[in-house]
């Protein structure tokens, strides 16, 4: 413990002429400041430590590597951030449902720790894998990532994106992104190669039900074809393209939900008892009806897999283009958000 002389010295260093606490002066003197107050590092518990510039970290944290201050920010239920075109965006945009890698990195930082393993069973062009690699260079630590993808074209794009991105990073004098493992095949088969309790975080964007293919409004002149439906049925795959049954027929909504529930029940076996499942799913407005797909999917997964819905985060993209749907006869929403369902394993597995 610091003696009275030390405390008196610190007091003089961090007060202004009126005797009030001067946070800026304290920082200039390299003293620990948290939420506008001087941190008494001598009073921290054995399981706490102060990390300069980040705040107090509690060693009992099993969820992530965030300090208390960072945790407080991470609990916000709305991620209101647009991600400008980056990370070979033109290449990745060939896939209509690709997610920004840095958004994936943000979620990985919230729900895993450095050195953990992340699984994406519907990997697409590898947004989750790239996000896991970005974590190494953005302060939260590298994760190992495994992706499953049955469309060889998307695997090819991931490999090309990584190659081009690393060429540019080396030219800027930056360390390259780590290459992650993207396996070719159907997730229902590939999951058998993943050991039980070996994955710390499952982060994915599920294949959408066929509602992507339907018109957004009955006014043909105002209809905008969804980019998510820009693929032939034979090429349908993950992250926003049309989901098909094994015989090639389009699934009904009930069949799609049952298929997702069955798959997630199997995926859950691979997740550690302290792990999370984080799932992107957008709601849709089609044929004059709002399809609450996020709620439907959450109920379907909870009804089959041993998980509990812990949170529904909203990713709101303020840069998303708006279109005039329904005017002037009917209110039709412009969907500028996606849901991010966060599941945790049920208590009996902990």
Model pLDDT for residues 47-75, shown as the tens digit of each residue: 988 877 788 889 999 999 998 888 998 99
Tokens representing 280 are: 């992107």
Per-residue pLDDT, averaged over 221-235, amounts to 34
**CA–CA distance, 293 with 151 (Å, rounded to integer):** 24
Question: Are 291 and 284 contacting, i.e. CB atoms less than 8 angstroms apart?
Answer: yes
Map out the domains of the chain with their CATH numbers: 28-60 (no CATH), 70-209+250-345 (3.40.50.150)
- Tell me the percentage of the chain whose pLDDT exceeds 70: 75
Helix (H) / strand (E) containing 275: strand 271-281
105 by Cβ neighbours in 10 Å (0-12 / 13-18 / 19+) ranks as buried
Per-residue pLDDT, averaged over 248-262, amounts to 87
Tokens representing 172 are: 């800027």
Q: Which range among 174-188, 265-279, 326-340 shows the weakest confidence by mean pLDDT?
A: 326-340
The answer, yes or no, to whether residue 241 has pLDDT greater than 80, is: no
Per-residue pLDDT, averaged over 281-304, amounts to 93
Give whichever of 9-18, 19-28, 140-149, 321-330 has the largest mean pLDDT: 140-149
Quick one: the chain helix, strand, coil %, rounded to 5?
A: 35, 20, 40
Considering only CA atoms, give the Rg of the chain. 23
The confidence score (pLDDT) of residue 16 equals 58
Question: Are 340 and 77 contacting, i.e. CB atoms less than 8 angstroms apart?
Answer: no
Question: In whole angstroms, how far apart are CA 271 and each of 73, 133, 318?
Answer: 26, 20, 33
Q: Which range among 90-94, 169-173, 189-193, 287-291 shows the weakest confidence by mean pLDDT?
A: 287-291
The confidence score (pLDDT) of residue 294 equals 97
- Three-class SS state of 17: coil
Question: Are 314 and 78 contacting, i.e. CB atoms less than 8 angstroms apart?
Answer: yes
**CA–CA distance, 60 with 46 (Å, rounded to integer):** 10
For residues 300 and 22, the model is more confident at: 300
189 by Cβ neighbours in 10 Å (0-12 / 13-18 / 19+) ranks as exposed
Determine if the peptide bond prior to 241 is cis (ω within 30°): no
């Amino acid at each position: 413990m610091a003696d009275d002389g030390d405390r008196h010295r610190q007091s003089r260093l961090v007060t202004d002429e009126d005797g009030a606490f001067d946070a800026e002066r304290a920082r200039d003197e390299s003293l620990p400041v948290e939420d506008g107050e001087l941190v008494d590092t001598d009073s921290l518990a054995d399981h706490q430590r102060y990390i300069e510039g980040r705040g107090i970290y509690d060693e009992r944290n099993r969820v992530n590597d965030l300090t208390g201050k960072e945790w407080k920010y991470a609990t916000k239920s709305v991620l209101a951030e647009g991600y400008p075109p980056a990370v070979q965006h033109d290449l990745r945009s060939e896939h209509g449902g690709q997610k920004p890698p840095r958004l994936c990195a943000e979620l990985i930082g919230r729900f895993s720790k450095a050195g953990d393993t992340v699984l994406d069973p519907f990997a697409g062009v590898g947004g989750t894998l790239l996000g896991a690699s970005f974590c190494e260079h953005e302060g939260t630590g590298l994760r190992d990532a495994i992706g499953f993808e049955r469309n060889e074209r998307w695997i090819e794009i991931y490999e090309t994106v990584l190659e081009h991105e690393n060429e540019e990073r080396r030219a800027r004098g930056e360390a390259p992104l780590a290459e992650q493992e993207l396996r070719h095949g159907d997730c229902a088969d590939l999951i058998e190669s993943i050991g039980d309790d070996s994955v710390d975080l499952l982060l994915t964007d599920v294949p959408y039900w066929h509602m992507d293919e339907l018109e957004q409004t009955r006014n043909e002149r105002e209809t905008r074809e969804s980019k998510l439906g820009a693929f032939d049925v034979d090429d349908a795959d993950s992250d926003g393209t049309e989901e098909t049954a094994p015989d090639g027929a389009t699934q009904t909504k009930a069949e799609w939900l049952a298929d997702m529930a069955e798959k997630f029940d199997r995926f859950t076996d691979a997740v550690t008892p302290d792990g999370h499942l984080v799932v992107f799913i957008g709601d849709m407005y089609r044929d004059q009806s709002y399809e609450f797909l996020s709620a439907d999917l959450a109920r379907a997964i909870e009804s089959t897999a041993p998980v509990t819905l812990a949170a529904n985060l909203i990713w709101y993209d303020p840069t998303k283009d708006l279109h005039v749907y329904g005017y002037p006869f009917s209110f039709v929403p412009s969907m500028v958000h996606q849901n991010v369902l966060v599941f945790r394993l049920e208590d009996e597995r902990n």
